[in-house]
Amino acid sequence: MKASRQRIIFYSLVSILCLFLAALSLPSFIKPRKASQGRRIINDARYIEAAIDQWALDNKKKDGDAIDMNAVAAHLKLPRSDIEIDLCGNKWIIGTVGISNQIKVSAATKKTLADQRIDWGRY
């Protein structure tokens, strides 16, 4: 009887220790995940900007023309919903054709990932 009670106490202590170690390690997994989200958002912005450039060339758009995101999405053969929002769920800020910042990351996304020290560059 005494041995089984000691086993129960031992397994209880081991499980508490495992839970404690898991709780300590969670923050170390969250930070790299948020950093990779920031890199993915920048890469998505580059991809969409390249698609806007290609669409503008194919449709003979001039600098300063408005960007039709429906047409850009059709050009990519994707639904508009796939290119309308970023990974954080915020809408992209769309400029005009030919301007260096045809697409920008929203302030809400930048605020969400502010603690990651991401270099947003021109986005």
> Cα dihedral sign for 37, 43, 48, 49?
positive
Q: Give residue 51's region: left, alpha or beta (phi > 0; psi -120 to 50).
A: alpha
CB 107 within 8 A of CB 91: no
pLDDT digits (tens, 9 = 90+) for 3-56: 677 777 777 878 887 877 777 766 666 778 888 899 999 999 999 999 999 999
Distance CA 21, CA 72 (A): 48
Q: What is the pLDDT of residue 29?
A: 67
pLDDT digits (tens, 9 = 90+) for 69-121: 999 998 888 888 888 899 899 999 998 998 777 899 999 999 989 888 888 88
Q: CB burial class (10 A; 0-12, 13-18, 19+) of residue 28? A: exposed
pTM of the model: 0.73
Extents of the domains making up the chain:
34-116
